[in-house]
Structure 1
């Protein structure tokens, strides 16, 4: 893994943008203690180097009619690189799957799915998930309430000032 080359100002920029990506460059510069031109150069560098991947609005799920969140444990039928890759591709193509992770333990993948209601999940399950030949088992866990979601990444493990930092291994 490459060195992480962030200084204290970079970290302040990243934290400020995670809190509010709609800040103008002037507002961001004021918050991090820079003039606008160097601030914009740093933001562009952070984007170019992949620290900032994208900007988007986080919508309220219930307000847009997506009131059911389901965490789905998925086991691959016959473990192979091809089956895992095919499943990843299929899950990534489903707009209802808002997050998916390959995991260790009793499941091979955990997918976070958002749909309007139980009937919509039943349709997704029977018409999409259960038709995938590489799936051996599916376990559905229904979210009763959301405690925390869409949180900013904690950057406290990175050095605050100065030099390059190697990630913990």
Structure 2
């Protein structure tokens, strides 16, 4: 899907606040509410907008630790990889998991109420030989400098260049 300046502006605004009204969106992109709503629906149907969610304050959830776990698998067979990835997707404490290049196969961001809970969790993974986990290196998050707030959007093509 080719994105024009109005589409990019809509994506930017909705990425910042998914609850922005159609009226406010239409004023920002200088189109009618109907045309704006049609654009938003098209962005959704084309998969440019995957969904909407609320960002819950971590402090509202009580004391939590966040850990980045670098995970290496000893078994690279497809069945093992699929089982491991399914376990990551189903584990509530795993808030993000990525396949990475380099020394480790995955990096997972894990939120737990305590280090004991984290330790039990990773021991379960290590003890389950069907997951093929060879090694887990733990990095504890000490402070969040910048939290994920959306992807950078490309600049709209313009005839004016500075």
Q: Tell whether the structures are fold-level matches, with TM greater than 0.5.
A: yes
**Distance (Å, rounded) in 1 between the aligned partners of 2:84 and 2:102:** 17
Give the corresponding residue for 2:95: 98
* Cα distance, 1:66 vs structure 2: 5.3
Q: Is 1:6 aligned with 2:3?
A: yes
Please, what TM-score do these two structures have when normalized by structure 1?
0.87
Asked if 2 retains the 8 angstrom alpha-carbon contact of 1:66 and 1:114, the reply is no
Gaps of 5+ in 2: none
Question: 1 or 2, which has the higher helix percentage?
Answer: 2
Work out which structure has the larger RCO, using CA pairs closer than 8 Å and 6 or more positions apart in sequence.
1
Aligned residues: 157
Q: Which structure 1 residue ranges, 4+ long, deviate > 6 Å from structure 2?
A: none
1:83-120, Cα deviation, whole Å (9 max, x unpaired): 21111111111011111111111101111101112122
Asked if 1 retains the 8 angstrom alpha-carbon contact of 2:126 and 2:134, the reply is no
Give the corresponding residue for 2:86: 89
Please, what TM-score do these two structures have when normalized by structure 2?
0.90
Asked if 2 retains the 8 angstrom alpha-carbon contact of 1:70 and 1:141, the reply is yes
Return the match for 1:42 from 28, 39, 53.
39
* Cα distance change on mapping 1:105 and 1:144 into 2, 3 Å: same
